[in-house]
Chain A
């Protein structure tokens, strides 16, 4: 690994001040949990290696999971383990907890952060689909101020985001209108532990119980396009449609057409297409089951809770 300088940020404002100071004259990288960055740096050609690394792991103002007027705010430094243990997230969005649980292993979940996972922006990013399905927005901070955008637009392509070199991802917001919106995340990997997704899917919708129809349906797909995408035609098909198994199956088939999976050493495009149809349908079924259990007043806890319950 090429030598570099490390500067430690005390908080998010200090971090962007350090970025503003160093970015004009040096190659700068930001380190949080380091689970992606450190692995990359060890293999990076020295031409890509940073001169300066800004360590934000002590910027404690980015560690919150808090309810605000705008919605549920999750700080960029919140680790995957912290998401798994958050009572608020367990209550409102068990799908986020399930997604966090599929990332890496205990050690990497203890270090790795939600912000880091999103900024790395690999197409299979496991934090991505659920948040995209919940219309999450990200806040980017720079010395000039802050700007917000939908997470779906923050992702630009494989390992590419809208983040400018002097900006820091500080916050992930699930908007107020989606608090408690039933969602389900499913990932298909080749193993249970430490596997990248061949396909990951999240589905979310409200139920109009009087008419039993889908309201504001979302299906987000990962690992089957250059970035996490909405399955737009499947979403349009479901809007206002009666909730029944045939509609969910048809939405799964439509989602296949919304994706552009590739052949690689993990799976063929053909196999991924089959997975999209099946996982999309199952994610819709999962979200509906959650909606029903919430309605009947049962405590919703996602897969994690049901596993615990088996003890």
Chain B
């Protein structure tokens, strides 16, 4: 067994796992964070997307031991009890999801994009979401939601600079 210590959504966590355990299984089965989904399990669908040290990755392709000492953010780390993350709120407002299975991965991919590039072009949004497959709704409303969040951020920054 291998001991893994990492930060998950701001909290220090430790687990003892067999060495071949993926980060996804660690999150879901040891820590009970089932927001990240097991889809294709080979890095094609993006349903398992989480952020590791600020970068989006397929957690099904990363060994848990490779995440030792790293900072992981999952979909569970975005909302507070009082307030959804702006991406979650806009995905809801725009009806961007249908069954929702791909949602956690898509929203994490969008967050990773906006963290680095708060004002992306549509092309950049499409590129950022290309590793996340949705099989029911399609992508237009997701892209609209990400654009809306970016727009809101821009307005906020503009207001801030005026004030």
Please give the residue numbers on chain A whose beta carbons come within 8 Å of chain B beta carbons, in ascending order.
1-6, 8, 31, 33-35, 38-39, 41-43, 53, 55, 57, 81, 104-108, 110-111, 192-194, 307, 310-311
Contact = CB atoms under 8 A, between A and B. Distances in A.
A111 B57 contact: yes
B112 interface: yes
B95 interface: no
B130 interface: yes
Given A4-B20, A193-B130, A310-B121, A111 B62 contact: yes
A107 B43 contact: yes
Nearest to A109: B131
Most-contacted residue by chain B among A43, A81, A105, A307 (CB, 10 A): A105
Given A53-B19, A81-B55, A194-B131, A107 B109 contact: yes
A286 B147 CA distance: 33
Interface string B107-134: 0010011000000010100111011100
A38 B60 contact: yes
Contacts of A193: 126-127, 130-131
B61 interface: yes
Contacts of A53: 19-20, 63
Contacts, number: 91
Given A4-B19, A110-B57, A42 B123 contact: no
Contacts of A41: 20
B72 interface: no
B65 interface: yes
B58 interface: yes
B22 interface: yes
B84 interface: no
A43 B56 CA distance: 24
Nearest to A41: B20
Interface string B1-38: 01000000000000000111010000000000000000
B70 to A, nearest CB: 10
Q: Provide the main secondary structure of the chain A interface.
A: mixed
B65 A55 contact: yes
Contacts of B2: 6
Interface residues of B, number: 32
A108 B131 contact: yes
A233 B63 CA distance: 45
Contacts of A104: 43, 131
B58 A8 contact: no
B130 A111 contact: no
Contacts of B42: 38-39, 42-43
Given A110-B57, A307-B123, A1 B62 contact: no
B58 A35 contact: yes
Contact of B61 (A3, A38, A43, A55): A38
Given A5-B19, A111-B57, A194-B44, A106 B62 contact: no
B66 interface: yes
Given A42-B42, A106-B112, 18 more contacts: A2-B20, A5-B19, A6-B19, A34-B61, A34-B62, A39-B43, A53-B63, A55-B65, A104-B131, A106-B109, A106-B130, A107-B49, A107-B58, A108-B131, A111-B61, A193-B127, A193-B131, A194-B44
Nearest to B68: A8
Contacts of B18: 3
Given A4-B20, A6-B19, A39 B61 contact: yes
A81 B131 CA distance: 14
Contacts of A3: 18-20
Given A38-B61, A42-B42, A194-B130, A106 B56 contact: yes
